[in-house]
Amino acid sequence: MLLVAVVLVGVVGSFDGVNPVQAQQLAQTPQQNVEGLVAEWLGYLTNESVSGMTGLYSSNATLVWGGTVGIFGGGVFSGQANIRLLYSALIENTTLLTAIATPINTTLISSALVNATFGLELSAQRGSGGTYSFDIIVEQEWMSQGGTWRIANETWINNKYAFNAVTSTSTVTMALGPQWVVTPYPQPPGPPSSSSGESCVTDSDFLYCIGGEFVGSGVYYAQLGLDGGVGVWKNTTAYPMPIEDASCVAYTFSSSPDATVLCVGGSYNNPSGATNSTYAARLSPDGGIVGPWVAQPDYPVPISGASCVVDSGVDGFNAVQVVCVGGDAQGGSPTDAVYYASVFNGGTLAWNSTTSYPAPVDSHSCVDSQLYLYCVAGLVNHSFADTVYFAEFSSSGGVNGSWYKTASYPINVTNTQCVTTEGYKDYVFCVGGLVGGGGATGDVFYARLSHTGAGIEGSWMRATSYSGGFDYNSCVETLSTIWCDWAGSVAYDEILSPGASMETSTVAVAVTSTITVTSVSTAGAASGETATPSLLPEVFGLFAIAVVFAVSTVFFAMRRRT
């Protein structure tokens, strides 16, 4: 431990260049000023300093992440606080991060506005899934505010993706924090405490829940907090009809500043009243729905409780598509039908059929992971099941060929809610559900997903359970946290990084705990010198990183707050 601390202090001590104020004083032109600050931003990124990075943004800055492989699924993040949330989530579970920049190109727009563009070769290891490499184009708009330069707008466009397996075999675990935290039942205008059957999605740091029993056509949203908890529930544009057990997804295109929420089917009035209606709406980066819900091509059959996912074009696929599996058709009969539709900004194209699921299924939960679609448990032919199947996405739409069976879920369960870990989707977590004869369960299990078509690697492992039971809840994952709307309240628990202490069994997986620091040179910096950031204030932050990997989850959480 002492040796690690000494090494880190020595590394930080070598970065004794100018601080932000001095860089501004030395700059001879606005462009040189910005070039030095971009080098500082890159230094903070490489050294995983969230506070340092976000301090270079204006309070109302906007950051757009997108491209063919949107990191964290892409999205628009408005305001310094939301940008801090985003970078916290990026760095949170990263055990190795390197960033190498191309020369910075600047354009003088005015004496108070400079655009900076540069390439960024980003290599990151998250969890135990290996090393991920991205070729990113970063565009920043720097604005002088009272003599201080800050980033006003920024766009990340991801143009290239590669995955390399890690060959070491250290033993680590990945699970949840020590307990689930439940927020109080909300006061009006939040959803009623007896609600169920809603469908929830996230965009940026907002949680949206659509419909549900006793909610009808109501749509509510709340802001999620970096340190847990949610803000006040607010109403937004109502759904066109009373709805429950719809399947809603959210997606973002790099060409649009707004995300889209798309809802498929659902029931109304009673469980047998399934609909084939499909609607889409735009989500504001500041929260809420922009404009009306717009009718889309009808689903091929009336359906309730289908499980839909978004295939966002990872690994070179150009088309973004929604794929929906199973569900209850009109009259409550489960189906094995699988349909897909290409999506665009604000809506869908026509629906098409693809390879059927191995059996009629409803009350199941499907997730996407890189090239593959996984579906977990549910009612198979009206019986509680533990079966897990997966299929490969097809670049031409739908799934490619057959469905394959993989490691069974630990219990027979329906209505469990599964999510994948954000960013690179190495792991699936499944929360709660209904067990035959036992009612609601608070059990949570997780498993590592293969990127090569091998299904689940190893077996399912137990994560932190909820002391009560989740049944007809809706769960999402964002900001390295699982959030479950549960009868109007929100329960959440943080996904931990490898190396954190936890109360689960272990499995041998590939991992590295190296923190690589890459110095960045900037052509054309002030006075013709290489601009490097002064990182002395980050000594204790880096020391905290070493302690986190060696000691406990508690210190990990402390690092997140700094």
This prediction has a pTM of 0.70
Residue 392: inside a domain: yes
Residue 379: inside a domain: yes
Do 491 and 556 have their domain in common?
Answer: no
* DSSP string for 401-450: EEEEEESPPSS-EES-EEEE-TTT--EEEEEEEEETTTEEEEEEEEEEE-
- Domain membership of residue 424 as a residue range: 181-508
pLDDT value of position 512: 27
pLDDT value of position 34: 94
Do 255 and 382 have their domain in common?
Answer: yes
With tokens 């819900």, the residue in question is: 293
pLDDT value of position 27: 46
Q: Is 311 helix (H, G, I), strand (E, B) or coil?
A: strand
Provide the 10 A C-beta neighbour count for residue 299. 25
Across 170-202, b (16+ Cβ under 10 Å) vs e yields eebbbbbbeebeebeebeeebbbeebbbbbbbb
Provide the 10 A C-beta neighbour count for residue 468. 14
Q: Cα(287)–Cα(240) distance, rounded to whole angstroms?
A: 19
Do 130 and 224 have their domain in common?
Answer: no
Q: Is the pLDDT at 25 greater than 50, yes or no?
A: no
Do 267 and 150 have their domain in common?
Answer: no
pLDDT value of position 236: 96
Do 409 and 472 have their domain in common?
Answer: yes
Residue 405: inside a domain: yes
Q: Is the pLDDT at 300 greater than 80, yes or no?
A: yes
Residue 284, amino acid: S
pLDDT value of position 240: 96
pLDDT value of position 87: 81
pLDDT value of position 195: 80
Share of the chain above pLDDT 70, in %: 71
Return the CATH number at 390.
2.120.10.80
Tell me how far apart the terminal alpha carbons of the chain are, to the nearest angstrom.
Answer: 21
* pLDDT tens-place string over residues 519-560: 222 222 222 222 222 222 232 232 233 323 333 333 333 333
Residue 47: inside a domain: yes
* pLDDT tens-place string over residues 338-394: 999 988 777 788 999 999 999 999 999 999 987 899 999 999 988 999 999 999 999
pLDDT: is 111 or 530 the higher one? 111
SS3 content of the chain, % helix, strand, coil (to 5): 15, 45, 40
Strands (E), 278-319: 278-283, 289-295, 303-304, 307-311
Do 386 and 475 have their domain in common?
Answer: yes
Do 134 and 249 have their domain in common?
Answer: no
* pLDDT tens-place string over residues 226-274: 656 788 889 999 999 999 999 999 987 655 667 899 999 999 765 558 9
Pairing of strands 321-325, 307-311: antiparallel
Question: For all residues of the chain together, what is the average pLDDT?
Answer: 76
Shortest CA distance to 174 belongs to which of 137, 143, 128?
Answer: 128
Residue 449: inside a domain: yes
Residue 175: inside a domain: no
Do 376 and 267 have their domain in common?
Answer: yes
Least confident of 23-37, 217-231, 461-475: 23-37
The pair of structure tokens assigned to 451 is 């990127």
pLDDT value of position 553: 32
Residue 176: inside a domain: no
pLDDT value of position 66: 67
Count of the separate structural domains present in the chain: 2
* pLDDT tens-place string over residues 459-514: 999 999 988 888 878 999 887 789 998 777 889 988 875 444 433 333 222 322 22
Out of 97-111, 215-229, 405-419, the most confident range is 405-419
Q: Residues 6 or more apart from 1 whose CB is under 8 A from it?
A: 546, 547, 550
Confidence class for position 191, pLDDT limits 50, 70, 90: confident
Shortest CA distance to 253 belongs to which of 320, 322, 202, 350?
Answer: 320
* pLDDT tens-place string over residues 46-64: 888 888 899 999 988 998 8
pLDDT value of position 123: 82
Do 119 and 259 have their domain in common?
Answer: no
Residue 60: inside a domain: yes
**Alpha helices, DSSP H only, in 240-354?**
none
Shortest CA distance to 56 belongs to which of 33, 76, 72, 75?
Answer: 33
Q: Cα(122)–Cα(14) distance, rounded to whole angstroms?
A: 23
Do 370 and 460 have their domain in common?
Answer: yes
Across 62-89, b (16+ Cβ under 10 Å) vs e yields bbbbbbbbbbbbbbbbbbbebbbbbbbb
Do 356 and 497 have their domain in common?
Answer: yes
Do 135 and 196 have their domain in common?
Answer: no
Peptide bond into 297 cis (omega under 30): no
pLDDT value of position 23: 44
